[in-house]
Every structure is written in C-alpha cells, then in structure tokens.
A and B are shown apart, each in its own frame.
Chain A
Amino acid sequence: MISRTHTTIIFAILPLVIVGLFLVNLWFGSVPIDWKDVWTALFTNGGVSTAAQIIVVQYRLPQAITALSVGVGLSIAGLLLQTTFNNPLAGPSVLGISAGASLGVALLVLIGGVAGSFMSNTIAIMGDLAMVFAAFGGALIVLLIIVFVSGKIGNAVTVLIIGIMIGYLVSAVVGTLQFFSNSEDLHAFILWGLGSFSKTSNLQSMSILAITTIVVFVVLIFSKPLNALLLGKQYAISSGFNVKIMQTVLILIAGFLIALDTAFTGPIAFLGLAVPHIARSFFKTSNHSILIPATALIGAALALGCNLVSKLPGYDASLPINAVTSIVGAPIVIWVIIKGRRISNG
C-alpha cells in the first residue's frame, strides 16, 4: 500500500500533465502554429479570424476535448466492466462491445443512410442522437450476451475468447451489410470505423465532455458497491447490496459510455481495458473511491498522449488512432494475462 502523501502527489501531478498535453495538442499539428497564436485564438472572442485561429478553435480544440472525454469515458467503462464481471480482461473493445456498437451504427448508416457528422444543424443533432441510440442498442445486445456467458462460465479467459468471437461474428454481419450498401454510405461508415478523435464539432465535443463529466460523478456514488463486488457476489450481498440490481445499473452505465464515445469517434481499441490496470499499478489500490478519479485522469492523459503520437508524422495524414492505442494497450493485456493469478483459477 502506498502512503497517503504519495497518492496526493500523483493526484496533484496528473491534472498538470493533462493540461500540458491538452495545450501541446492545440499547438502541435500538420500546420505549424506559434504558441502566441494558440493563446490569442483561445482567449480572443471574435475579432480577426486568422487561419491559425480557425485551425486551433475549429479543428484542434474539439479534437483535444473529444480525445480527453473519450479517454475518460472508455476507461471508466472498462473499470466498471472489470469490477462487475470480476474479470481483469474485460473492456469495451475486447469483449466485442465496441463491435456491437459498430453493428448498431452500421445498421443506421448503411441501411438508414444517416450519418450525423456529415449533416448540419437540427438534423445533425437528430442524427447524433440516432447514432448514440443505435450504438447503445448494439452495445447492449453484446453486453447481455456477455452477462449470460459470464453467469455460465467462471473462467475469465474463456469469457474473453467468447467475447472476441462475438466481435468476429458481429464484424461479419457488418461486412455483409457493407456489401449491400451504396458507395456513399459505405464511405461514411468506413471512415467512422477507422476511429478518430477529429470528426467532432465544437458543440459535439463539448456535449461529450459535459455528459462524461456527469457520468463520472454518478459512478463515484457507486464506490462502495463496486468495492464490495471485488470480494465476490456473495460477500457483496452480505454487505447489504442488491447485487443483481447493482450489476445491471453498472453495466448499463458502462454500455452508455461506450455507445456515446463510439458513436462519435468510432471504435477505439484497448484504451478502456488498459487504463484501469495502469491506475491500479500507479496507486497500488483497488479502492474505487481512489480508482475512479485515478482511472478518469489517467484515461484523459493517455488519450491526449495517443492523439499527439498519431499526429507525429506531421504531414497532412496522421496515424490511425487505433494503431497508437493498440501499441499501448495490447502489451498491457499480455502483461495482465501473464501476471494475473486470478485468471487461471477462474
């Protein structure tokens, strides 16, 4: 156990790291912009709109806000899934939940021909909502299957493999849908499916940030039942919780976060699984009253960092964000499997 001062120090440093990474995200990109211009762009209302100002405010700012919010959202979702399923390998992408969200979006975009980000004004907001609902529906179906499978099979790795298989199945359905859809819809869907933090408007990114913040505070309320669940279902019941209701609520919250984020950025790999593990090993605790804020802060920092790395080539094109998050996340999964004693004994 690390000391309280140690914990306080990490909690003091993390916001500084986030602010720093956030500013670097605004400054760094394919077009070189002076720090001074970044500053004026952020803090001048109206007045001259230089090219630099437009790039910072219209493109880099929403991208950075989206990266930060999605980093928080997916990481918190991963933490909730890992605790409620009592499975350290649970996460939005690995259990096929993101794939489920993709199916929902695919049905909407490819069959319904709705693509939120490509339309304007009120229709766009309707489109956004439709995307979120479609993603939520798809994610929820996969979540229900995982709930059922976890109830029957205790072994974490087996559940993981089944999750991956569900992911493949869903992807096959999405592939079939793509085959039968027109090229315009297909183009929109494929772009979405690559995953990117850069497709959101200022309004969208601010909405994601606001909703994510609210949800994180709601999740904090559940610290106690989450801690009790770490002892197993029966101990959680003996601590006075209605475990079935608690698990349902937590899974719905996780599903909502995954759907919200996936609808706007496309599926983002590994972030949700990796961050809770980083938080646990930083703070050496499983106590959720520390782990929830820790996961949120580290998720924000890591997503901003990954977004920065994806811009490194510096040219017009940037690296796919999923390539970057996978390079960070996949080794952590391997590390968890090798190190975890709790996995083998199911």
Chain B
Amino acid sequence: MGSSFIDSQDVILKLRGLYTGYSSSERSKKHLHNNLNCEVKKGELIAILGPNGAGKSTLLKSLSGIISPLRGTIDINGKDLKKMSNKEVSKEISMVLTDKIDDRYLTAYDIVGTGRYPYGSFMGKLTQYDKEKIENSFNLLEASELKSRYYINLSDGEKQKVLLARAIAQDTQLIFLDEPTAFIDSPGKVVIMNFLFEFASKYHKSILMTTHDTELALNFATRLWLLGKNNMFVDGKPDVLMKKGMINKLFDRKGVTFNAETRRFESYP
C-alpha cells in the first residue's frame, strides 16, 4: 500500500523486544516490563500513565540511554541506541527530568544554554545561531522575562518552563518529559499540556511524557501507554482505551473507579 511507505518514514522510535528494569547488583535484577514492541511517530504526544512504581521513569530513562535496558533493542531514527554515543543521542533526544537543580547562581539562560552543548565544539562559546535558538525557545514558552533570573529563585511552574525551553533549544526530534505537570497549579498544567500538544503537531516533534494527571492526558495526548504492575503494557488511543475500561483496570484500587462518561475518578461507597 502507498501509505505504508510514508508511515514507515514517520517512525522515529522503535522498541523491539524490550525488557526494562534495573539491576541493583549482579545477582538481583528487577524486571519491570517484558517484551515491549511499539513505535513512535512524528507529531505524536504520548502520555505514559500508571500507578507509582510501575516503571514509567525507568522506561523513559531506558529509551534515552541513561540506563541500559535488560534486553531488546531501541531504534532511534533507524539507528541502534546501544551503538550511539552520548553526543549522538543528545542530538536526537532532549529531556526534562525530575532531578532537582539546586545551584545558587545558575540563571535560566545558563540552563537553557546547556541545551545547545550537543552542537558546539567541546570548548567553544555559544554561536549566534545557538543564541537565536535559545531566544526562540524562551519566546515560544513566553518566558523571556525569566532569562536573567536565577533558576533557584523561580516558582515551580517557571522552573518547568525553563527546563522545557532547554529541551526545545536542544532542537531534537524526540522530547522526553518525566512528570512535567507535577507540582504545578491546575491552570499551569493545562497551559503546559496545551503547549506540548500544539508544539508536537506544529513542528512534527514526538513527545513522550509520564504523568499522574490522567484526566489531562486523556484530553491532550494523541496516544496513551498504560504501564501497570505485573508486566501490564497497553498502547492505544485515549478514547478507545477509556471505552474499553482500561484506565479502571490500570489503577485497580478499592473504593475508586474511573467514570468514562465524566472522564474523572470517582469514589464509591
């Protein structure tokens, strides 16, 4: 078929027989998910949902090469992640992590500037092009007034904007976000989700994000990955998964149910 050729061109990330987990020592390996097979295409905003401890962050870090998967392969733009150097990976994937940055004198601009490090020479200064990219990312996030402020003095919402600006300045096809909406007030969450959705579709970027904001994810994500305990992994469109009752199954908790009509969690006696 004609369209399948275009489709395969659009695939940017491919998981083949992937086993995620971590080994705390040689003897004890903790398996989280076994034999994952799926693809990510350009322009998708994929929300990874699941209860605490399901392995959402581990999956994200495995896909970015920060930790190595137990088995299987990850193809990024047709290249095997295992064979790529950190520098090569940093030109394909940018990240927003939950790690705290607590340096006292780093400005927002300094932090966004590190997003350009994959491109410059080892020691060279930021070029004019780098500076334009940095300016553009601040503008996109309407965060220009934060540029010269110290990162540590910013509110949680502003910090998240700066980290997002760093990821955007890195100018990668894939953007991975670990809980970008945590610690942010409700309107702020909607602003970020809306931004991510529009950014992905407008610039054909592929965004993978973990989140606990299920209701927002259902509204904005183009696709969901449901990660549960006991090796549960479901990949599908939000509406389809919701109607199948998969959200309920994922968070299987006594006294709480997900109502597909109202798109909300509700308690029952």
Contacts and interface: CB of A to CB of B under 8 A. Distances in A.
B120 A238 contact: no
B112 to A, nearest CB: 11
A116 B248 CA distance: 76
Contacts of B150: 1
B122 interface: yes
A239 B103 contact: no
Interface string A233-247: 011011111110000
Given A228-B117, A289-B125, A240 B106 contact: no
Given A231-B101, A235-B97, A286 B106 contact: yes
B90 A238 contact: yes
Nearest to B118: A240
B254 interface: no
Contacts of A232: 97, 99-101
A234 B150 CA distance: 21
A223 to B, nearest CB: 6
A342 B104 contact: yes
Contacts of A341: 102
- Secondary structure of the A contact surface, majority rule: helix
A10 interface: no
A342 B122 contact: no
A285 B77 CA distance: 38
A240 B90 contact: yes
A221 to B, nearest CB: 4
A237 B67 CA distance: 11
B66 A239 contact: no
B217 interface: no
A239 B115 contact: yes
- Chain B interface size, under 10 / 10 to 19 / 20 to 34 / 35 or more: 35 or more
A224 interface: yes
Contacts of B170: 239
Contacts of A227: 110, 113-114, 117
A238 B93 contact: yes
Most chain-B Cβ atoms within 10 A of its Cβ — which of A224, A242, A341? A224
Contact of A231 (B85, B89, B114): B114
Contact of B117 (A1, A222, A230, A240): A240
Interface string B84-96: 0111011101110
A285 B99 contact: no
Given A240-B87, A241-B86, A228 B114 contact: yes
B123 A224 contact: yes
A280 interface: yes
Interface string B103-147: 111110011011101101011010000000000000000000000
B35 interface: no
Given A224-B122, A232-B99, A239 B104 contact: no
A220 interface: yes
B140 to A, nearest CB: 19
9 residue pairs, one from A and one from B, having the closest CB atoms: A240-B90, A342-B102, A240-B118, A286-B105, A240-B87, A239-B117, A238-B95, A221-B123, A232-B99
11 contacts: A1-B148, A1-B150, A231-B99, A234-B66, A234-B95, A238-B94, A238-B95, A240-B86, A240-B90, A240-B91, A287-B110
Given A224-B120, A237-B66, A241-B117, 12 more contacts: A1-B107, A220-B123, A224-B122, A231-B101, A234-B95, A237-B90, A238-B66, A238-B94, A286-B103, A286-B104, A342-B102, A345-B100
